[in-house]
Amino acid sequence: MIQRKVLININNIRKLDAVLLSYPKSGNTWLRFIFANILNEIYSLTDKITFDNIEKFIPVINKNKKLEKYHKLPLIVKKHFFPKIEKIYFHLINKKIVFIVRNPLDVLKSYYLYSINVRNKQYESFNSFIKSDRGIEAWIRSLNQYYYKSEFILYYDLLIQNDKNEIEKIIKIFDILFNIRINNEIIARSFEICSKSNMRKLEEDRKKKSKYLISNVKIVNNYSFISLTKRRVKINDNDFEYINKMLRNKLNDKIYKVFIDENIILVN
């Protein structure tokens, strides 16, 4: 069966069903695949969600980009928080944001490796990175700005542990934002499909299809992807001290208290 697709110009969108928003390296791609597999379970649009067709389920929002999606699917887009360009898009979103939060130390380690290996940024050390415009203060700004503007907050570190409350949030997201009823069984199957091993296989398949390969960077359709799971970042006491100091002094007091009370994010 041929599924009809529709093209939507992002500049003409006045209402989105939801935006998956996060600071870079917070698990947004993984959650995007989770949501896409849930939708595919319901609508049976393809045999398998891959990096080749994920855009037709949950596209990345870019300026002047035409979004191609399967007909009848809710319009969900993925976006990262980039302080310098964020104001370009957010008047379109109508506040239907699903904000994804991950332990800031893990975020910064991953973003540091991505920046130096993919974006060819130059940093003297991890300490210099966390003090840069991509470091902990930018992560804090993303939370201060969108934590209380979001319809839902999903915690990546709890999701990967199949936390019951986070699973219930996904059920509510599909019900309230998309008017789609799902259950724990559908979510469980999507989580299995998007397990670490299966996601790694998708990444390897993407690598094989790539026309260009520079070191361990895969470039597909003008999008760069890198596998950093086996790499390590050296962190010292000064790094921990600086990150914790910034969290205590600059993160919204109410948000900081939530994290402490619920033991959601622990840097050390």
Which SS3 state, helix, strand or coil, does residue 50 take?
coil
Residue 78's alpha-carbon distances to 56, 111, 126, 195, in angstroms, are: 12, 18, 27, 20
pLDDT tens figures, 141-186: 999 989 998 999 999 999 999 999 999 999 999 999 999 999 999 9
Beta strand pairing call for 76-80 and 97-101: unpaired
pLDDT at 13: 53
pLDDT tens figures, 34-43: 999 999 999 9
CB 58 within 8 A of CB 67: no
Query: Mean pLDDT over residues 130-146, rounded?
Result: 93
Query: Mean pLDDT over residues 44-48, rounded?
Result: 92
Backbone angles phi, psi at 48, to 5 degrees: -155, 135
pLDDT at 228: 45
Higher pLDDT, 213 or 158: 158
pLDDT at 103: 92
Backbone angles phi, psi at 186, to 5 degrees: -65, -45
Higher pLDDT, 49 or 71: 49
The CATH homologous superfamily to which domain 5-262 belongs is P-loop containing nucleotide triphosphate hydrolases (3.40.50.300)
pTM greater than the 0.95 cutoff: no
Distance of CA 13 to the CA centre of its chain: 21
66: CB partners within 8 A, 6+ apart: 7, 8, 9, 10
pLDDT at 268: 56
- Going along the chain, which residue ranges are E strands? 5-9, 18-22, 66-70, 76-80, 97-101, 152-155, 212-214, 217-220, 223-226
Chain length of the chain: 268
- Cα angle 131, 135, 140 (rounded to 5 degrees) comes to 115
CA dist 105 and 31 (Å) reads 19
Higher pLDDT, 27 or 77: 27
